[in-house]
Structure 1
Amino acid sequence: MAPKVLVVLTSYGRIESIGQPTGWYLPEFAHPYEVLSKKGVEIVTASPKGGVAPLDPGSVEAFKGDASAANFHATKAALWEQTAPISSFLGKSSDFAALFYPGGHGPMFDLATDADSIALINEFVAAGKPVAAVCHGPVVFVNVELPGGKKLLAGKEATGFSNAEEDAVGMSKHMPFALEDKIKEAGAIYKKAPEPWAPLTLVQDGGKFITGQNPASSVGVGEALAKAIGV
């Protein structure tokens, strides 16, 4: 039977302070999807609200020249238009090989504090299943506390969209907080690539905890996840 990976997308589609659409970021789902699907992995999708998980239109435009992302956008809409609520997957970690969170600015506003998402991550960690996230996706880990009260990120090397990259896209002042700072505050050893936009994928806990810094890290996260689940 093909292994299944549960992919959790944001339900947050608009930054009200600037009246700008947002959501999840196209290549950060498209590239890992390509890596995993080529290895026979089945992808199942969830979001806080269920239904359509908003895709950031800016990412579609920015990656229209990327064949993998463009093909995914053209052919796989059901994956993000027909998500199930995160709550419907609680208690079902045994059905899946791993848990993965793409980025985009949306997760900064909903998944960072979503109680169902936090419970889901705890469940996968307790079951010894890999958890992974890329770009803004690692925000899902910053508020996760393990049953004993220790922060999930404490003592781990982790990455995510850097302050320098957020400044470069002019979005720092529109975010509820700085992701790099929050990762550090949660006790992680924050790492970033030598240059903004360069790829960086970090693998901890023997493959059970995977983070990628930015869109360029999406393939690396997909490959690390494939290795972690043995495909």
Structure 2
Amino acid sequence: MTKILMIATNVDQLDSDHQTGLWLSDFVEPATEFKEAGFEVVAASLKGGRIPIDPHSYSNELPRVWDGVMEPIHNTPLLSEIDPSEFEVVFLCGGHGAMMDFPNNKTIEHVLRHFLTKKKIIASVGHGAAGLIGVTDHNGEAIVKGRTMTGFTDAEEKETGIEGLLPFTIEEKLQAEGAGFEGDNPDKDHVEVDEHFITGQNPRSSLSTAQAVIKKLRKPQPQ
């Protein structure tokens, strides 16, 4: 069975007044699509354990179908203990928490380099693209350089009202590392596919990003 590795943040606070974490739909919607397509989903995190959920990303009335899908984020293994060779896709989930623990992380870089070398799918949605920041290939080049990508836009960040709490914005950092950044209007469903890189702009793009991953997986590869 094809296995998909989904990486989620462990960060639950931006400061003493602002809770954060995983944006729930950035995990649940793709995970649901992957499972319904017959793929196995494994969630992991840098510190392991239960993944914190951004309180703004859910209500008290969650769809019942999400119950089983959420199970992998109740007790995640350490990403450092995951063998990336077992997976065909790595999917970086969003939420403002990812802005704090994903960038410039050596464990994430190790995982992504495997997928880069093997030309396996590297996907992200929203703030999950922060995991691509600071990652270089074996030649020391930023892996996003020359790629057409998207992620949470500066315009969307300003609308959150917490831009000042963040170390950077996704749009500015991807551009600084050489990516061609393409963003749609705030809250629009927007996905970019550049070879084996698949990126979604925001939570509204979670489902479309997963569908693009599935389409890529099922496309016959040249011999």
Structure 1 residue 78: Cα displacement = 2.4
Structure 1 residue 32: Cα displacement = 0.8
* Correspondence 1:204-219 to 2 at 5 A: 204-205=194-195, 208-219=196-207
2:40 aligned partner: 42
The DSSP-based 3-state class of the residue aligned with 1:84 is coil
Aligned residue type for 1:84: P
The DSSP-based 3-state class of the residue aligned with 1:7 is strand
* Correspondence 1:86-97 to 2 at 5 A: 86-89=79-82, 92-97=83-88
Structure 1 residue 178: Cα displacement = 1.4
Q: 2:110 aligns with which of 109, 119, 123?
A: 119
1:79 aligned partner: 72
Q: Deviations over 1:77-123 (max 9, x none)?
A: 4211110111001xx22211110011000110001122101111111
1:6 aligned partner: 5
2:166 aligned partner: 175
The DSSP-based 3-state class of the residue aligned with 1:151 is coil
Q: Distance in 2 between matches of 1:199 and 1:66?
A: 22
Aligned residue type for 2:8: L
Q: Name the Cα RMSD after superposition.
A: 1.5
Say whether 1:191 aligns with 2:189. no
Q: Are the equivalent residues in 2 in contact too, given 1:93–1:127 (CA < 8 A)?
A: no
Q: Distance in 2 between matches of 1:6 and 1:77?
A: 14
Q: Distance in 2 between matches of 1:76 and 1:42?
A: 11
Q: Distance in 2 between matches of 1:215 and 1:21?
A: 18
Q: Deviations over 1:14-59 (max 9, x none)?
A: 112x522111101111111121111111101110001111111210
Structure 1 residue 179: Cα displacement = 1.4
The DSSP-based 3-state class of the residue aligned with 2:65 is helix
In structure 2, stretches of 5+ residues that fail to align are none
Structure 1 residue 147: Cα displacement = 0.4
TM-score (normalised: structure 1) = 0.90
1:221 aligned partner: 209
The DSSP-based 3-state class of the residue aligned with 2:47 is coil
Q: What is the percentage of aligned positions where both structures have the same residue? A: 30
Aligned residue type for 1:71: V
Q: 2:191 aligns with which of 194, 201, 206?
A: 201
Say how many residue pairs are matched.
Answer: 219
Q: Are the equivalent residues in 1 in contact too, given 2:3–2:86 (CA < 8 A)?
A: yes
Q: Distance in 2 between matches of 1:203 and 1:65?
A: 33
TM-score (normalised: structure 2) = 0.93
